[in-house]
Amino acid sequence: MRTLSSLGLLFSIATLLESAPTPLPIQSLDFSNVLPEHARRADPSLTGYLGAFFLGDKPSVYFYLSNGNNAVSFTALNKGNPVINPTKGTQGVRDPAIVTGGGDEAGRKWYIVGTDLNIGKTTWDAAQRTGSRGIFVWESTDLVNWNNERLVQVEDATAGMVWAPEAIWDAEKGQYLVHWASKFYPTSDPNHTGSPSAIRIRYAYTKDFKTFSAPQDYINKSPTNIIDLDFLPLGGKTYARFMKDETAKTVFTEISTTGLFGTWTRPGGSNAIIQSGVEGPAAYLDNQQAGKAHLLLDFYGSDGYRPYESTDIQGGKWTASDRASFPTNLRHGSILPINATFMSALSAKWG
C-alpha cells in the first residue's frame, strides 16, 4: 500500500509541474511616478511663461511673454506700455505678483497683488513711516483682462508700511495665505517720528482678497530686517522660500519639508546667501526640464532683474543663467508658467 501511494504521489507532482506556467522574466520596478513633484515636473502642456513687472520709476504693471518655451527669453507686450495703471491710493504699484487660483478657483481665477507706492510722490523715509497700509488687488478669469481694482487695508495704524505682498494657496487651510513686509511704531508714537521695530514678514488668510483675517507675524528675525518673501512649492509639504535680508542687502533661501508652518532650514548654514546687492526674488519651475527652477534677482542699483537657475533647489545651489535674451531694467515682479491657449490669447490682446 505504501509503494502504491508513493507512486501516486510522484505521478501527481509530475503532472502539476508539467501544467505549471513558465516563470516570467524578472523585471525592474519603476518608481518614477512616486517621485516628489519637483523631481519630475516637466509639463508638456506648459508652453511658455508670463511675466509681470514694474519698470524702475514707472510704477505700473507691465507684461512680458516668453519667446517660445525659453524660461529666460522675454518680449514686452502692449508695445512696452503698461497693461495695468492703478487709479487708487498713491496711483503707483510696485512688486506685482501673479497669484494662481486654488481650490474652486483653480484654473479659472488669477489675482495680481502689489505694493501701493509711487516713490515719485514721496521719499523713502516717509514711505516707511507713513506709507500705505493696504495692498493693491486685481483679478482675472483669463490672464488677459484684469479688473475689480481695489486697495485693501491689511495693517492697523501702528504699521509704517505694507510692502511686496504675495500670496499662495494653502490647501490644508483651504484659503490663500497672503504675506507682506511691515515695520511698526509704538502706540505712543502716532506720528511715527521715533524708532520703529525691525521689518518683519506678516501674513493673513483670505478666500476672496476682500476680507482678511487678523495679521500675524510669519518671519521675525529681529533685529534683522526681512522683506520680499517669495515661495516656490516643490510638491507635497516641501517648499523653498526666498527673502531679502534688508540689513545685509542679500537674498537667501530656506527649505521646509513639513509645510508652510513647518521647520525651515537654510542650506549651507546661517550665513549662506544666493547673492548680495539684490532684492525681489521671483522663483518659478522650468516647463521642460524636470528638477530645474529659475530665480530672478533684482539688481536694484544696476540693471534690474537677472536670471539664475538651479537643479539642486533644496541644496540651495544657484548659478547665473545666460541672459543674452533677457530684457534689462525689469524690476521686482513674478513669472507664471502658462499653456498654449493663454500664450495665444495674451499675444492676440497685447502682442
Number of domains forming the structure of the chain: 1
Strands 110-116 and 216-219: unpaired
Q: 30 in a domain, yes or no?
A: no
- pLDDT per position as a tens digit, 260-317: 999 999 999 999 999 999 999 999 999 999 999 999 999 999 999 999 999 999 999 9
Q: Are 98 and 334 in contact (CB under 8 A)?
A: yes
For residue 43, the model assigns a pLDDT of 85
**Adjacent-strand bridge partners of 226:** 245
For residue 180, the model assigns a pLDDT of 98
For residue 42, the model assigns a pLDDT of 73
Q: Are 209 and 109 in contact (CB under 8 A)?
A: no
- pLDDT per position as a tens digit, 15-51: 444 444 444 343 333 333 333 444 446 788 999 999 9
User: Measured between alpha carbons, how far is 308 from 319 in angstroms, rounded to an integer?
Assistant: 5
Count other Cβ atoms within 10 Å, centred on residue 107. Answer: 9
- pLDDT per position as a tens digit, 88-111: 999 999 999 999 999 999 999 999
Q: 6 in a domain, yes or no?
A: no
Residue 71: which region, alpha, beta or left (left: phi > 0; alpha: psi -120 to 50)? alpha
Q: 8 in a domain, yes or no?
A: no
Instruction: Give the closest residue to 266 by CA, choosing from 308, 199, 315, 309.
Output: 315
Q: What is the 3-state secondary structure (H, E, C) of 31-78?
A: CHHHCCHHHHCCCCCEEEEEEEEEECCEEEEEEEEECCCCCCCEEECH
For residue 351, the model assigns a pLDDT of 87
User: Measured between alpha carbons, how far is 146 from 140 in angstroms, rounded to an integer?
Assistant: 5
- Give the contacts of 32 (CB within 8 A, at least 6 positions apart): 40
- pLDDT per position as a tens digit, 321-345: 999 999 999 999 999 999 999 999 9
Cα atoms in the Cβ-side hemisphere of radius 13 Å centred on 254: 18
Q: 49 in a domain, yes or no?
A: yes
Q: 36 in a domain, yes or no?
A: no
Amino acid residing at 23:
P
pLDDT of 225 > 50? The answer is yes
- What's phi and psi for 277, nearest 5 deg? 70, 30
For residue 57, the model assigns a pLDDT of 80
Instruction: Give the closest residue to 229 by CA, choosing from 280, 266, 264.
Output: 280
Q: Give one DSSP letter per residue of 171-221, joined into a string.
A: TTTTEEEEEEEE-B--TT-TT--S--PPPEEEEEEESSSSSBPPPEEEE--
Amino acid residing at 4:
L
State percent of the chain over pLDDT 70.
88
Residues 205-228 have a mean pLDDT of: 98
Instruction: Give the closest residue to 281 by CA, choosing from 256, 248, 251.
Output: 251
- pLDDT per position as a tens digit, 251-261: 999 999 999 99
Q: 28 in a domain, yes or no?
A: no
- pLDDT per position as a tens digit, 134-159: 999 999 999 999 999 999 999 999 99
Q: Which residue has the cell 505549471?
A: 20
Q: State the CATH number of the domain containing residue 146.
A: 2.115.10
Kind and range of the H or E run holding 346: helix 340-350
Cα atoms in the Cβ-side hemisphere of radius 13 Å centred on 138: 24
Q: Give one DSSP letter per residue of 290-342, joined into a string.
A: TT-EEEEEEETTTTEEEEEEEEETTTTEEEEPP-TTSPSS-EEEEEEEEEHHH
Q: What is the extent of the structural domain holding 274?
A: 43-350
Give the residue with greater pLDDT, 204 vs 22: 204
All three cell numbers of 110, joined, read 488669477
For residue 68, the model assigns a pLDDT of 96
Q: 55 in a domain, yes or no?
A: yes
- pLDDT per position as a tens digit, 172-198: 999 999 999 999 999 999 999 999 999
Q: 344 in a domain, yes or no?
A: yes
pLDDT of 133 > 70? The answer is yes
Strands 134-140 and 147-153: antiparallel
3-state helix, strand, coil in the chain (%, to 5): 15, 40, 45
